[in-house]
Amino acid sequence: MISRNAPRLAAIALASAAMLTAPAEAADPSYKGRTLTIVVGYGPAASYDLYSRLLSRHIGRHLSGNPTVVVQNMPGGSSLRAANYVYNAAAKDGSVVGVIRNGMALEQLYGRPGIKFDALKFNWIGSLTRITGACTVWHAAPATTIEEAKKKEIVAGAIGTQGSIAVYPRALNDMLDTKFKVVLGYSSAGIVQAMEQGEVHSRCGGDWHSLTSSHGHLIRDGKIRILAQMTNKKALPDQPWIFDYVKKEEDVQVLRLIFASQDWGQPVVAPPGVPKAHVAALRTAFDAAMKDKALLAEAERTKLRIDDPMPGAEIQSLLEGYHKTPKSVLDRVSSYGKPGSNEGKVEKKKK
């Protein structure tokens, strides 16, 4: 005789079995037969895309099961679209990670419109390289040192009002009473050309190593010089460092926040809610890839700098500290991203 409770007991047994097996399956970080998708917030050939594709060719063999790794371009809003997608819509099973602009980690602090994520809830996997910011000047500029820049005006070319190349000179004017005049409207390469032509004197911001790759001959010939390294960690031992000059406590806090995202120059993130075992597997694979001789050889061959990669847990820890920044510091950083009286219109030099 079959009990009327048999179906119910069977259902309970099945549910219990599911409860016992589900955690094990969720915790299994094997990628055998799976695909890992890297969503990059820029179009093909952008630096973030190039680093994403470099990673895609090597990280798979450091994951259990050696999965296929593909790159999906999702440009928009300087990677805001990709960041929002990875956080809200991407699968949370360890099969999707994102490569987003380094500054995206802090922009919610300034109330940027359109942000639909909490940077602290991303699972940060790691960063491929560190950026070395530098304030550079043309060798024939009216001032080629910080002390001289306090006495003589330097015209600094910039792209837009919120980029580092505009923010850095404004910060120096505020903290050190330098006399930078920020001139907007150039492209990144156009600033260097304008320096050669005598239209501007300075490119005060941007990555020093990118400049050495694109205009190494001008640096080797002594045409472009470093006024100051604009970094939290001194990277060039024989060059002046901004913290040799800036000493006031709040000024130091302001600059450290401005420079913060350089430390994770090419960040990789996973969505919130990914099982801890998968996050750990991705972080371990990333760290191993950063030491992979094949990846390092390809990076050197393609001139993609791998400089002091940062583990994901370290990024996560740094962000927790930066997200506790006092409002007075945030307000000052925000003010440097706004047009000021020390800017002028682009006026081409008369020939």
Q: Tell me what the mean pLDDT of segment 324-331 comes to.
A: 94
- Which CATH number among 3.40.50.300, 3.40.50.10880, 3.40.190.150, 3.90.1530.10 corresponds to the domain 35-130+265-308? 3.40.190.150
Residue ranges of the chain that CATH labels 3.40.190.150: 35-130+265-308
What is the three-class DSSP state of 203? Answer: strand
pLDDT of residue 27: 53
Instruction: Please state, rounded to an integer, the average pLDDT across all residues of the chain.
Output: 89
Residue type, 335: S
Handedness of CA 159, 160, 164, 166 (dihedral sign): positive
Q: Tell me what the mean pLDDT of segment 75-86 comes to.
A: 94
Q: Which of 88-97, 102-111, 146-155 has the lowest mean pLDDT?
A: 102-111
Whole-angstrom distance, CA of residue 150 vs CA of residue 172: 10
- Tally the residues of the chain: 351
Residue ranges of the chain that CATH labels 3.40.190.10: 133-260+332-344
What is the three-class DSSP state of 336? Answer: coil
Q: Residue-wise over 10-28: b if at least 16 C-beta within 10 A, else e?
A: eeeeeeeeeeeeeeeeeee
Whole-angstrom distance, CA of residue 154 vs CA of residue 141: 7
Count of CA atoms in the C-beta half-sphere (13 A) of 329 = 17
Give bridge partners of residue 126 from the DSSP assignment: 268, 311
> What CATH number was assigned to the domain covering residues 133-260+332-344?
3.40.190.10
Nearest-CA neighbor of 139 among 90, 186, 96, 202?
202
Residue type, 320: E
Whole-angstrom distance, CA of residue 118 vs CA of residue 105: 9
What predicted TM-score, i.e. pTM, was given to this entire model?
0.80
Top mean-pLDDT range of 14-18, 189-193, 204-208, 276-280: 276-280
Contacts 24+ apart (CB under 8 A), 190-195: 190/157, 191/157, 191/158, 191/159, 191/165, 192/218, 192/224, 194/157, 195/138, 195/157, 195/224
CA-to-CA dists, residue 234 to 176, 229, 332, angstroms = 19, 7, 23
Per residue in 166-188, pLDDT (tens digit) is 899 999 999 999 999 999 988 87
pLDDT of residue 234: 93
pLDDT of residue 214: 82
